[in-house]
C-alpha cells in the first residue's frame, strides 16, 4: 500500500474524475475533427471553393490549441491523477498494458507531428500532398481510440484475462466492440458540434451554410448509430454491472444521457434546416449539452465497475481482491485479515501498528484513510462523507458498526473489510465517534 493522498471534501478520486471529464472535450474533438476537415478540404479543391479553406484553417487552429495543448496535457493529467489517487490501480494497468500504451504512443507521434505539419503547410504545399497528410492524421487519430478503448473496456469487463492473463484476451473483451462503435459514432457527433461552432465565425455565408449542413448531417447520423451501439453495449455488459445500473446509478445520470441525446438530435436537425440561424453562443451551449451527455455516460461506466477499479482483480481501495493465477498474483484479503492492514502497509505510524485503548480512534482513522477514503471523505461534507453516513445509520454502538463492516462484502458495490478483528473494532469505534 502506498501513502494516501487525502483531498478535503472532494477525495482524490473526484479530482481524477474532474480532470477526466474535462479531457473528454478536447480528446473526442481530436479523434474526430480531421475527418470533417479533410472532407471539407477535398470539397474545396474539387468544387474550386477556396472560401471553404477559411473553415479548414480555423478548425485546425482550434484543434491545434485546444486538443493539442489542453487535450494532450489533460490526458497526461488523468494519468498523474490516477497515479496519486490510485497508484496500485494505474500500476496494475501499466504492468499488463505497457505495450498497449507504448503502441498508442507511436500513433501519438504521428498525430502530434501531423497536426503541426497539417496546419503550417496549408497553402504552402500542393493540394494532393496536403490532403494526404490530412488523411494520415485522421486515420491515426482514430487508431488512438481503437487502442485506448481496449484498456478502458478492460477495466470494466476484463473478459477471459483473469483466467488466461493474456494481453489480447483482456483487450478484446466482451464490451470492446460495442464500445468502439459507440465511441466512433459519438466522435462524429462531437466533432460535428465543434465544426458548427467554428463555422458560425466564417465570414462567407455560402461556406457557413455548407459546413453547418454537412456537419449537422454527420452529427445526426453519428447519434443515430450511437444509439444502436449503446443498446449493443448494454447487452454486452457483465451481469454485475447491469445489476449496479439499477441499484446505484442515479436517475439524474441516466436522464442526462437521454436528454442530451434528444436535445442534440433536435439541434442537428434544426442546424440542417436553418444553418445560417445558428450563432456562436448557442453553438457553444450545444457543446455543453453534449458534454453533459458524455459526462453522464462516462460516470455511469465508472460507477458500474464498483467495487473494483480493475474488474475481478483490484478493489477501488487498492486491495487485491482476486487471484490472477496465470500472472502468479494472489488475493490479499486473507493475508490482511490474518496479519492486519496496519501491519502490512508500510506507510503507517509505528505507534498504530499495535492497537491499544489509547490509540484505538487514531488507528481507526488510519484504517478509514486506507480502506474507505477512495470513495468516502472523512470530513463532514463532500463526497459520500463517512460522518453523514454514520449519522444516517444512527450508529452509536461499535458492535453494530462492526457487524456492518463484516457484512460489507455482501454489498455488490462495496469491497469487503480487510483487516483483523481488532482493526475492525478500531474502525467501528472510529465510525461511531463520528456520530456527534
Partner 1 sequence: MDTGTMVKTLQDPMGIPFYPILFQFLMVLTFAVHILFVNFTLGLSFLAAYGSARGNEHWGGLSRSLAKATTPNASLAILFGIAPLLFVQVVYDPFWYASNVLSAAWALGFIAILMLGYGLTYVYYLKGRPGRGAGFGAIGLLSFALFLLAGVIMHVLGYQLLLPEKWLHWYIEGNSVNASGTSLHAFQLPRFLHFVVPSFAMTGLFLMLYAWYFKDRADRDREQLAWVAGTGAGMAFLFTALQALVGVWWLFSLPPEFRFFRDPFFLVAAGMGVSLLFYLYRARKDPFRYAVPSSIWAFLTIFAMSYSREALRMKYVGRFGYSIFDHKLNLDLGSTALFFCTFIAGMFIVSYPVYVAYASGRTAGQYTASPAMHRWGSAGLALLLLWIAVVAGLGIVISVKNYL
Q: Which stretch binds partner 1 (CB under 8 A): 62-70, 209-217, 221-229, 301-309?
A: 62-70
CA distance 18 to 203: 36
| Contact predicate 119/64, CB 8 Å | yes
Examine residue 45 and tell whether it contacts partner 1 (CB under 8 A). no
State which of positions 254-313 bind partner 1 (CB under 8 A): none
Tell me which of 11, 60, 140, 200 binds partner 1, using CB under 8 A.
Answer: 140
Q: Which stretch binds partner 1 (CB under 8 A): 160-168, 186-194, 212-220, 258-266?
A: 160-168
In the complex with partner 1, which residue's Cβ is closer, 264 or 425?
Answer: 425
Q: Nearest distance from residue 84's CB to partner 1, in Å?
A: 4
DSSP 357-381: TTTHHHHHHHHHHHHTTTTS-SSSS
In the complex with partner 1, which residue's Cβ is closer, 125 or 265?
Answer: 125
Tell me which of 45, 172, 270, 411 binds partner 1, using CB under 8 A.
Answer: 172
In the complex with partner 1, which residue's Cβ is closer, 120 or 231?
Answer: 120
Q: Which stretch binds partner 1 (CB under 8 A): 35-43, 132-140, 214-222, 287-295?
A: 132-140
Tell me which of 9, 50, 98, 380 binds partner 1, using CB under 8 A.
Answer: 98
| Contact predicate 319/336, CB 8 Å | yes
Examine residue 166 and tell whether it contacts partner 1 (CB under 8 A). yes
In the complex with partner 1, which residue's Cβ is closer, 4 or 249?
Answer: 4
Q: Which stretch binds partner 1 (CB under 8 A): 66-74, 183-191, 269-277, 407-415?
A: 66-74
In the complex with partner 1, which residue's Cβ is closer, 103 or 217?
Answer: 103
CA distance 160 to 292: 33
State which of positions 188-247 bind partner 1 (CB under 8 A): none
Q: 313: which residues sit within 8 A by CB, 6+ positions away?
A: 92, 158, 162, 320, 321, 322, 324, 329
Examine residue 12 and tell whether it contacts partner 1 (CB under 8 A). yes
Tell me which of 53, 62, 139, 221 binds partner 1, using CB under 8 A.
Answer: 139
Neighbour count for residue 240 (Cβ, 10 Å): 18
DSSP 389-425: HHHHTT---HHHHHHHHHHGGGSTTSPPP-S-HHHHH
Neighbour count for residue 300 (Cβ, 10 Å): 20
The grid cell for 299 is 460516470
In the complex with partner 1, which residue's Cβ is closer, 177 or 270?
Answer: 177
CA torsion angle 33 39 43 44 (round to 10) = 30
State which of positions 316-375 bind partner 1 (CB under 8 A): 320, 324, 326-330, 344, 346-349, 351-352, 359, 362, 365-366, 369
Query: Strand ranges (DSSP E) for 221-352?
Result: 308-310, 314-315
Tell me which of 9, 50, 65, 279 binds partner 1, using CB under 8 A.
Answer: 65
From residue 18, alpha-carbon distances to 23, 61, 67, 75, 385 in Å are 9, 25, 17, 12, 18
In the complex with partner 1, which residue's Cβ is closer, 74 or 216?
Answer: 74
Amino acid at each position: 500500500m502506498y501513502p494516501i493522498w487525502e483531498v478535503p471534501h472532494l477525495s482524490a478520486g473526484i479530482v481524477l474524475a474532474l480532470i477526466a471529464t474535462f479531457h473528454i472535450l478536447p480528446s473526442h474533438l481530436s479523434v474526430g475533427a480531421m475527418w470533417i476537415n479533410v472532407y471539407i478540404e477535398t470539397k474545396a479543391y474539387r468544387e474550386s471553393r477556396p472560401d471553404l479553406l477559411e473553415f479548414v484553417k480555423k478548425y485546425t487552429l482550434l484543434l491545434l490549441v485546444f486538443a493539442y495543448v489542453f487535450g494532450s496535457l489533460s490526458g497526461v493529467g488523468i494519468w498523474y491523477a490516477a497515479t496519486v489517487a490510485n497508484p496500485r490501480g494505474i500500476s496494475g494497468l501499466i504492468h499488463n498494458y505497457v505495450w498497449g500504451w507504448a503502441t498508442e504512443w507511436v500513433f501519438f507521434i504521428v498525430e502530434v507531428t501531423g497536426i503541426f505539419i497539417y496546419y503550417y503547410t496549408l497553402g504552402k504545399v500542393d493540394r494532393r500532398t496536403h490532403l494526404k497528410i490530412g488523411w494520415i492524421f485522421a486515420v491515426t487519430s482514430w487508431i488512438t481510440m481503437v487502442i485506448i478503448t481496449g484498456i478502458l473496456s478492460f477495466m470494466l469487463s476484463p473478459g477471459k484475462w483473469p483466467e488466461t492473463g493474456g494481453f489480447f484476451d483482456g483487450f478484446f473483451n466482451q464490451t470492446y466492440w460495442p464500445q468502439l462503435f459507440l465511441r466512433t459514432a459519438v466522435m462524429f457527433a462531437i466533432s460535428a458540434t465543434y465544426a458548427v461552432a467554428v463555422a458560425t465565425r466564417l465570414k462567407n455565408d455560402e461556406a457557413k451554410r455548407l459546413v453547418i449542413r454537412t456537419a449537422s448531417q454527420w452529427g445526426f447520423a453519428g447519434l443515430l448509430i450511437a444509439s444502436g451501439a449503446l443498446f449493443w453495449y448494454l447487452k454486452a455488459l457483465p451481469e454485475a454491472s447491469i445489476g449496479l445500473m439499477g441499484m446505484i446509478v442515479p436517475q439524474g445520470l441516466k436522464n442526462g444521457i437521454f436528454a442530451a441525446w434528444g436535445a442534440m438530435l433536435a439541434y442537428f436537425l434544426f442546424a440542417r434546416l436553418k444553418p445560417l440561424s445558428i450563432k456562436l453562443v448557442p453553438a457553444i451551449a450545444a457543446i455543453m449539452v453534449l458534454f453533459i451527455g458524455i459526462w453522464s455516460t462516462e460516470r455511469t461506466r465508472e460507477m458500474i465497475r464498483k467495487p473494483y477499479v480493475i474488474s475481478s482483480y483490484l478493489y477501488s481501495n487498492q486491495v487485491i481482491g482476486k487471484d490472477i493465477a496465470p500472472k502468479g498474483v494472489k488475493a490479499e484479503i486473507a493475508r490482511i485479515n490474518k496479519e492486519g492492514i496496519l501491519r502490512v502497509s508500510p506507510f503507517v505510524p509505528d505507534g498504530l501498528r499495535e492497537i491499544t485503548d489509547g490509540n484505538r480512534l487514531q488507528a481507526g482513522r488510519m484504517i478509514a484513510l486506507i480502506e474507505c477514503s477512495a470513495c468516502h471523505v472523512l470530513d463532514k461534507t463532500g463526497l459520500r462523507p463517512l460522518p453523514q453516513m454514520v449519522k444516517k445509520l444512527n450508529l452509536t454502538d461499535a458492535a453494530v458498526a462492526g457487524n456492518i463492516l463484516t457484512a460489507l462484502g455482501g454489498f455488490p458495490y462495496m469491497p469487503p473489510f480487510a483487516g483483523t478483528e481488532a482493526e475492525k473494532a478500531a474502525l467501528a469505534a472510529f465510525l461511531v465517534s463520528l456520530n456527534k
